[in-house]
Amino acid sequence: MEHAFVPVPEGAGKPYPVSRGGKPVFLTDDRGPVARRLARSLSDRGFSVVLNCLSEEPVPENCRKVRIDPLDQEGLEQLLRGLGPETCVLHPAPPPLRADVALADDKLWDRAFREGPLAALQTARAAGNALRGGSLVFLGDLHAEKPTGCAFLHSLGCAAVQMLCREAALDFAPKGISCHYVQRGVMESDLSNRNSRSNLYNEPQLQYPGRRLPEAEELAGLLSFLFSGEAALLNGADLRADGGMSLYYGEQETGKRPEGPADPEVPAPFLHGDPRRPSPKGRTALITGGGKGVGAGIARVFCAAGMRVCIGWNSSRELAEKTLAEIQAMGGEAFLYRADVTDRAQLEAMAAATAERYGGIDVLVNNAALQPNLFLHEYDEETFRRVWDINIGGYWRALQACLPYLRRSRSPRVVNLSSIHGKRPTLFDPVYAMTKGAIRMFTREAALELASSHITVNAVELGGCRIEGKTGGFPFKVRRLPEIERNPGHPLGGMCDPEDAGFLALYLAGEEASNITGAGIRLDAGSMLV
């Protein structure tokens, strides 16, 4: 399917896809209430859903029914070829088999292997042979990384498929096929399985920081994003759509839960509402470091989608004014505000000005950062302190400044821009990497603490990005450029543009991302896979 696009000013980056629906989606297994609700919700969002019916349950309305053995690679491949090369394949984990490590027998072991890792492998092989430019999403759960206590075969299978996804992402990238693993938490639809496989089913809502169970329709919002052109530079991602459950896991026995300040004005959270993509039009965002680079790309995408944006800037008036002119030329609504993120008073004034101008703040995008590109021995204490105070201290101050307004929003969102170097050493700026590691944990801590106010907090972990003013688009020292150019390390064949960061930030800032918090999502064209 060809996406519809909103044009952007010449030289500003990529056009903005505004349509997601219409693509064929093949759901490999209908067993379980979540799978069928996902099929219905994806169909409602405009996708053409083909459902492999392995159960005897009725087929959701507007979904096409097929029946094929999940181990029949040739049959799967033939089906996918008939659907088209850009088909999106959704492969859910099988229903868990209750089994203890000490008591499981060979028959149960073989069944779990066939229904889990082997079926996933056959699906991946069929997709790799049949698709060109499509998507493959493996839907698992938190037991890919957390033990069940009573269904170890399920945990083994999920962990194996999680690694299969990464291998497939690397192998299929030359064909333009993106692969992702989605870990879901316990959902409302799962309660029929209460106490059947894990202690998570014992009052599961108490394990969620926000004290509610996510719904399948929220998960469908994430899938529709992954199946769209907006997620083109995501590959090999491991996404936790668990409502923050993994942040709180391990404390369920004590009942401990962080409490935010009581606020009777906090509105009820957005759940799923209209099955179609909720419109971001009319929502307000404040973006620090929004005048240039990645921040400017996010501002352009937000405004193209109908959001109103405060563009925070400090060091480059010329580029900030250029960004504002581009937004105004496309009919977007935004204004500039100069604020130093190391100055609390200036950030508070910017937040107040935004709320006064637009009636509130729905989204905070923390982006302002400093990258001196110094080796460890080249840093002095003053420079160290300044980088730390901007890159992580600025995020903390901006969040505090916007918090009173976010708490009054119906769908409050915080998006922190980070980097893959929060997990991978840079070899060009160790202090910069330290701050990105700190942002990763700041995101998780804030997500846990603010869940009681229905505020989601997530991070976009960027890889190489084409940024105006950076040599060759790489944020590396010139002395390292030849090495990078010889081995770009981007399986999808390209680097991100600022607009790619904007597409992901727009999703996380939207109402349908209410099921994701505390996540760090890699946007790196698969570079972390190699």
Q: Looking at the structure, do residues 293 and 186 belong to the same domain, yes or no?
A: no
* Residue 201, domain member (yes or no): yes
Same domain flag for 498 and 409: yes
Catalytic positions, written as ranges: 432
Q: Are residues 182 and 318 in the same domain?
A: no
Instruction: Let me know whether 225 and 321 are in one domain.
Output: no
Report how many domains make up the chain: 2
- pLDDT attached to residue 205: 47
Among 248, 270, 304, the domain boundary falls at 248
Q: Which residues contact 9 (CB under 8 A, 6 or more apart)?
A: 326, 329, 330
In this prediction, residue 190 carries a pLDDT of 66
Residue 465 burial (CB < 10 Å; 0-12/13-18/19+)?
buried
Residues 472 and 390 in one domain: yes
- Same domain, yes or no: 322 and 447: yes
Supply the range of the domain harboring residue 499.
284-529
Please state whether beta strands 5-6 and 88-92 pair in parallel, antiparallel, or not at all (unpaired): unpaired
Q: Looking at the domain assignment, is residue 271 inside a domain?
A: no
For residue 228, being part of any structural domain is answered with yes
| Per-residue pLDDT tens listing for the chain (530 residues) | 333 444 445 545 555 444 455 789 999 999 877 898 899 999 988 899 999 999 888 888 889 999 999 999 999 999 999 999 999 999 999 888 887 776 778 888 889 888 999 999 999 999 999 999 899 999 998 777 777 767 788 888 888 888 888 888 888 888 889 999 998 887 766 655 444 444 444 454 445 556 667 778 888 889 999 998 788 778 888 888 877 777 764 444 334 444 444 444 444 444 444 444 567 888 999 999 999 889 999 999 999 999 999 999 998 899 999 999 999 999 999 999 999 999 999 999 999 999 999 999 999 999 988 877 777 678 788 888 888 888 888 899 899 999 999 999 989 999 999 877 766 666 666 777 777 877 888 888 888 888 888 899 999 988 777 776 543 333 333 333 333 333 445 555 567 778 888 899 999 998 888 888 888 888 876 666 66
Whether 383 is covered by a domain: the verdict is yes
One domain, residues 192 and 308? no
pLDDT of the residue at 361: 97
Is 346 in the same domain as 476?
yes
Query: Which pLDDT belongs to residue 509?
Result: 93
Q: Are residues 231 and 290 located together in one domain of the fold?
A: no
Q: Are residues 215 and 317 in the same domain?
A: no
Q: How far apart are CA 319 and CA 311, in angstroms?
A: 11
Note whether residue 394 is domain-resident: yes
The DSSP secondary structure of 260-304, one letter per residue, reads: PPP-TTPPPPP---SSSPPP-TT-EEEETTTTSHHHHHHHHHHHH
Q: How far apart are CA 528 and CA 235, in angstroms?
A: 9
228 and 343 inside one domain:
no
- Are both 413 and 523 inside the same structural domain? yes
Of the candidates 248, 270, 295, which is a domain's last residue? Answer: 248
- The kind and range of the H/E element at 34 are helix 33-44
Does residue 257 form part of some domain?
no
Task: Write down the residue that tokens 């209460």 correspond to.
Answer: 194
Any domain includes 187 = yes
Domain boundary among 226, 248, 270: 248
Measure the CA–CA gap between 388 and 378, rounded to whole angstroms.
Answer: 16
3-state secondary structure of 161: helix
Q: Other C-beta atoms within 10 Å of 489: how many?
A: 14
pLDDT of residue 437: 79
**275 pairs with which residues across the strands?**
none
Q: Which CATH number characterizes residue 56's domain?
A: 3.40.50.720
